[in-house]
Amino acid sequence: MRKVLALLLMLGSASAAFGFDGNDPRDHPTSGRSHHRGDRGGHDDSAFAHDNDAVVRWKTIVGNITVSNNDAVGGINPGTTPWSTLGGRASVNLVTGQVSFDVDGLVLNGGNATGTPGGVDQVEGSLICDAGMQDQTIFTTTPVQLNAQGNADFSGTFNTIPGTCTNPLFLIRIGPDLPGANQRWIATGAVRSFGDSHGQN
């Protein structure tokens, strides 16, 4: 009996020496998670953001479906008939002046030439910076052909580098070979974003 008591006393002393308290750290998974976050050193996820905000993109091109001078953009009046598109895109590099756009299915939406470009066979793209403000500036491409299906594309450089452009807007305008409607806007870039994550201009 004395031996049994002595053995129990020894086991109790050993447990106290090793500090077992019956709590397994694995019962507190949040501790491990918090430690893992700390290992990231307070990493700022914004480091993954676009590193070139000089590039402005418009994901699509939409037609002007209303006819009103209330739709003037920076003093540029819209066309006198509604227009629609199937899509398109535009991109401007404010630092280099590189610009590109393409538009698909740009056609009249009404009138006797509905569903076609009518008499419009040229378009040009315009970047409007700070529309309606005192420092408003407009940069316009050379005209390109608009084919019978309403498709056109341009890739080149503005004659003047835009530089700072607080509120960039992009318009598709009627080319100069139709004097009565010269440079009225008929479509606009939509779904704007900033950044050059794909190395495109």
Q: Is residue 82 helix, strand or coil?
A: coil
Residue 126 and residue 183: Cα distance in Å, rounded? 9
In the block, residue with structure tokens 């418009």: 58
- CA diameter of the chain: 118
Q: Which residue has the higher pLDDT, 20 or 76?
A: 76
Residue 60 near residue 166, CB atoms below 8 Å: no
The candidate with the shortest Cα–Cα distance to 100, out of 69, 144, 134, is: 144
Confidence of residue 187 (pLDDT cuts 50, 70, 90): very high
Q: What is the pLDDT of residues 8-23, one digit of tens each?
A: 444 444 443 333 333 3
Residue 22 and residue 160: Cα distance in Å, rounded? 75
Residue 56 near residue 94, CB atoms below 8 Å: yes
**What ranges do the domains of the chain cover?**
2-46, 52-194
For 150, counting Cβ atoms within 10 Å of its Cβ (0-12 exposed, 13-18 middle, 19+ buried), the class is buried
- pLDDT reported for residue 52: 62
152-158 mean pLDDT = 97
87-93 mean pLDDT = 97
- pLDDT reported for residue 30: 29
pTM of the full predicted structure? 0.72
pLDDT at 199 over 70: no
Tell me the residue ranges of DSSP E strands in the chain.
55-63, 83-84, 87-93, 98-104, 107-108, 122-129, 137-140, 144-145, 152-157, 169-174, 185-194
Percent of the chain scored above 70 by pLDDT? Answer: 71
